[in-house]
Amino acid sequence: MKSFGSVTGFVLPDPKNRLLLWSVLILVSLISGAYFVGNAFFAKEYKQRLARWGLIHTMPHSKFNACKRQCLPFGSEALPEGIIARTSNLEMRPLWDSGKDNRILKRPLNLLAMAVGLKQKEIVNKIVEKFLSSGFVVMLFHYDGFVDGWKSLAWSSCAIHVSAINQTKWWFAKRFLHPDIVAEYNYIFLWDEDLLVDNFDPKRYLSIVKEEGLEISQPALDPTKSEVHHPLTVHKAVSKVHRRYYKLKGSGRCDDKSTAPPCIGWVEMMAPVFSKKSWQCVWHLIQNDLIHAWGLDRQLGYCAQGDRMRNVGVVDSEYIVHLGLPTLGGSNGNEAPSDSPGDNRAKVRMQSYIEMQVFGKRWKDAAEKDKCWIDPYEQANKTSH
């Protein structure tokens, strides 16, 4: 007969060990309970804080997990997504009916925006008539304040009029042509007022731009009648579009190896035309306080939605005349008060040069400080200076 003490199986520990084991189990249970209770408490408090900060709405947990609102426009987080109107346009609405049928059939797809003074009324009238007949929206920036002086023209009530004394078209564009405002327009023509359009048709111009894939462009200038500042803009009689300029002698040479402005990938600032996508970039490039925008033209290629050597060009088959009339600070009666209008013009030009230097420094500093930005034209820019 086997003794009791020889039975194999589970043997209870002695009282001291049992007490230690129970103490450990109780401690683990207390810690686990505190963790789960605390986690639930802090999660609830965290959500409440986010709701107070406006980052989320207080809602059932399952609904909160199913919602993704990261792409909503800044400031609209408190609104249901379906009510948010992200963009606008320059369409004037009738007071007496919805105008729905007319908008569906005749909604303009392109925009002409010009800085104008009453002294150039006759020239502007011819420009606007051509663009309105081609289905454009027209927006006039009145730098002389004489808005009522345009009421005699048949189309005046169809145009958008904005007035601010002695401001440039770039000042107006930065404030009134935000990409969200002009999002419905495929092309934005941002033109000066001293342009003759006898040999220009907006519809034919746009058909060429689309065919050639030009995101940033301008019509060529008639060299016999225009004030020409840069040879790249000169009209070529046997060409439809050109993108580069050749200068094989002297300083500042341009040849087939040139890859940077002003030899290629460049337009002047008196009559630029921007695609919707390029304007979304250009608007951000315009500096709020540098109203003359000198120096901007050399950097427009960065907004060309790809290769500036391909997507920027001058249209020859639809060309204009640039009269080069002095307006702001000039001698045509639109200048700021002064004993000598010529002094004002000199001051305007000096300020333009100053702003060009400021813009150049800002670009250089921004390029150096942004460690995440890669310059696609870095090598070309080095060889062009």
Residues 179, 217: Cα–Cα separation, whole Å: 18
pLDDT at 307 over 80: yes
Per-residue confidence (pLDDT) for residue 26, from 0 to 100: 77
* 288 residue type, one letter: N
Average pLDDT over residues 220-232: 93
Per-residue confidence (pLDDT) for residue 79, from 0 to 100: 86
Per-residue confidence (pLDDT) for residue 285, from 0 to 100: 97
Per-residue confidence (pLDDT) for residue 343, from 0 to 100: 72
| CA pseudo-torsion sign 231, 232, 234, 236 | positive
pLDDT at 291 over 50: yes
List all residues 6 or more positions away from 339 whose beta carbon is below 8 Å from its beta carbon. none
- Beta bridge pairs of residue 187: 110, 275
The structural domains of the chain, ordered by start, are 107-246+255-384 (3.90.550)
Per-residue confidence (pLDDT) for residue 332, from 0 to 100: 45
Per-residue confidence (pLDDT) for residue 68, from 0 to 100: 61
Per-residue confidence (pLDDT) for residue 7, from 0 to 100: 45
Per-residue confidence (pLDDT) for residue 282, from 0 to 100: 97
pLDDT at 374 over 70: yes
DSSP string, 221-260: E-TTTS--S-GGGB--TT-SEE-B--B-SSSS-B-TT--S
Average pLDDT over residues 157-164: 96
Residue 362 tokens read as: 């800002």
* Buried-exposed string 138-159: b where 16+ CB fall within 10 A, e elsewhere: bbbbbbbeeeeebeeeeebeeb
User: Could you tell me which of 357, 292, 289, 287 has the C-alpha nearest to residue 328?
Assistant: 292
Average pLDDT over residues 122-142: 97
Per-residue confidence (pLDDT) for residue 158, from 0 to 100: 93
pLDDT at 287 over 80: yes
Per-residue confidence (pLDDT) for residue 42, from 0 to 100: 55
Q: Considering the chain, what is the average pLDDT of its residues?
A: 84
**pLDDT digits over 13-44, tens only?**
566 666 676 776 777 677 766 666 555 555 55
* 164 residue type, one letter: A
Average pLDDT over residues 123-130: 98
Answer for the pair 323, 194: CB distance below 8 angstroms, yes or no. Answer: yes
Residues 231, 261: Cα–Cα separation, whole Å: 12
Residues 261, 266: Cα–Cα separation, whole Å: 5
Confidence label for 265 from pLDDT (cuts 50, 70 and 90): very high
Confidence label for 50 from pLDDT (cuts 50, 70 and 90): very low
| CA pseudo-torsion sign 191, 197, 202, 208 | negative
Q: Which helix (H) or strand (E) holds 116?
A: strand 110-116
Report the residue count for the chain.
385
Confidence label for 334 from pLDDT (cuts 50, 70 and 90): very low
Q: Is 77 left (phi over 0), alpha (psi -120 to 50) or beta?
A: alpha
pLDDT at 342 over 70: no
Per-residue confidence (pLDDT) for residue 65, from 0 to 100: 53
User: Could you tell me which of 324, 314, 295, 318 has the C-alpha nearest to residue 245?
Assistant: 314
Per-residue confidence (pLDDT) for residue 62, from 0 to 100: 54
Reduced to 3 states (helix: H, G, I; strand: E, B; else coil), residue 106 is helix
DSSP string, 44-103: HHHHHHHHHHTSS----HHHHHH---TTSPTT-TTS-GGG-----------SSS--HHHH
| CA pseudo-torsion sign 218, 222, 223, 225 | negative
- Beta bridge pairs of residue 157: none
Confidence label for 257 from pLDDT (cuts 50, 70 and 90): very high
Q: Which helix (H) or strand (E) holds 367?
A: helix 341-369
| CA pseudo-torsion sign 345, 116, 278, 285 | positive
Average pLDDT over residues 186-190: 98
Place of tokens 């000199």: 346
Residue 256 tokens read as: 């087939």
User: Could you tell me which of 174, 111, 179, 107 has the C-alpha nearest to residue 139?
Assistant: 111
Distances, alpha carbon 54 to alpha carbons 49, 78, 81, 276, in Å: 9, 7, 15, 33
- Beta bridge pairs of residue 352: none
Per-residue confidence (pLDDT) for residue 5, from 0 to 100: 46
Q: Which helix (H) or strand (E) holds 22?
A: helix 15-53
Average pLDDT over residues 191-203: 97
